[in-house]
C-alpha cells in the first residue's frame, strides 16, 4: 500500500438541478451574519424523487466573503415513498454569486457561475426502498445559475467511500 492508505475516495452518485423559488432577506442576526431563506420547489435526481417541501438558509459571514448553507428537504417518489435530505455547505460569495442572488431580475449579470466556489455534504433519512441511502454520506459540488425560469443550484453528489489499508 502507499502513502494514501486510509484516505476516503468518492464515487459519483447523483446529479440534481434545484430551483430557487424565492429569496427572503432576514437581515443581520445575533451572530453578525446576514441570513437569507431560500425555498426550493423540486428537483429530479436519478432516483426519481421530487422535492415536496424544503428550505435552504444562507448564513453570510460578516466579511461577506463566504456563506454557510443549511439545507433540508423532503422528497417523494411516484409511489409515495419519502426521503428526508439534510445538507450543510460553504460557498465563496464572490462577485458572480453575489450578483446572481442580489442583482435585479433584469440585470445583465452572470447567468451561470462555474463549479469551484461551493461545496456541501449531504445525508438522507428514509425507509424502504431507499433505506441504503441512510448508510451513506455524500460530498457535493455546487454551482449557481439563472435562466428563463429563475435561479437554480446545479449539484453533483458523490458517495464518500471509506479508505482502506493499515498505515
CA torsion sign for 120, 125, 130, 134 is positive
Q: What is the pLDDT of residue 1?
A: 53
Q: Phi/psi at 98 (nearest 5 deg)?
A: -60, -45
CATH number of 18-161: 2.40.160.20
This prediction's pTM: 0.79
Our CA dihedral for 58, 93, 11, 52, rounded to 10 degrees, sits at: 30
Q: Which residue has the cell 479508505?
A: 163
Residue 134 phi, psi (nearest 5) = -65, -25
Scored b (16 or more CB within 10 A) or e, 121-133 reads: ebebebeeebeeb
Neighbours of 57 (CB within 10 A): 16
Q: Assign 125 to helix, strand or coil.
A: strand
* Per-residue pLDDT tens over the stretch 33-83: 444 444 334 433 446 777 778 888 888 888 889 999 998 888 888 899 888
Amino acid at each position: 500500500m502507499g502513502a494514501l492508505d486510509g484516505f476516503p475516495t468518492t464515487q459519483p452518485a447523483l446529479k440534481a438541478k434545484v430551483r430557487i423559488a424565492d429569496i427572503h432577506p432576514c437581515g443581520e442576526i445575533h451572530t453578525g451574519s446576514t441570513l437569507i431563506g431560500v425555498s426550493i420547489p423540486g428537483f429530479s435526481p436519478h432516483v426519481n424523487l421530487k422535492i415536496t417541501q424544503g428550505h435552504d438558509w444562507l448564513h453570510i459571514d460578516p466579511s461577506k466573503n463566504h456563506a454557510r448553507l443549511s439545507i433540508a428537504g423532503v422528497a417523494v417518489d411516484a409511489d409515495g415513498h419519502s426521503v428526508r435530505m439534510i445538507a450543510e455547505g460553504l460557498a465563496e460569495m464572490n462577485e458572480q454569486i453575489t450578483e446572481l442572488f442580489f442583482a435585479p431580475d433584469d440585470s445583465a449579470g452572470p447567468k451561470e457561475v462555474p463549479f469551484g466556489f461551493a461545496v456541501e455534504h449531504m445525508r438522507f433519512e428514509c425507509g424502504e426502498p431507499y433505506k441504503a441511502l441512510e448508510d451513506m454520506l455524500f460530498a457535493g459540488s455546487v454551482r449557481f445559475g439563472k435562466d428563463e425560469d429563475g435561479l437554480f443550484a446545479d449539484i453533483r453528489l458523490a458517495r464518500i467511500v471509506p479508505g482502506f489499508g493499515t498505515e
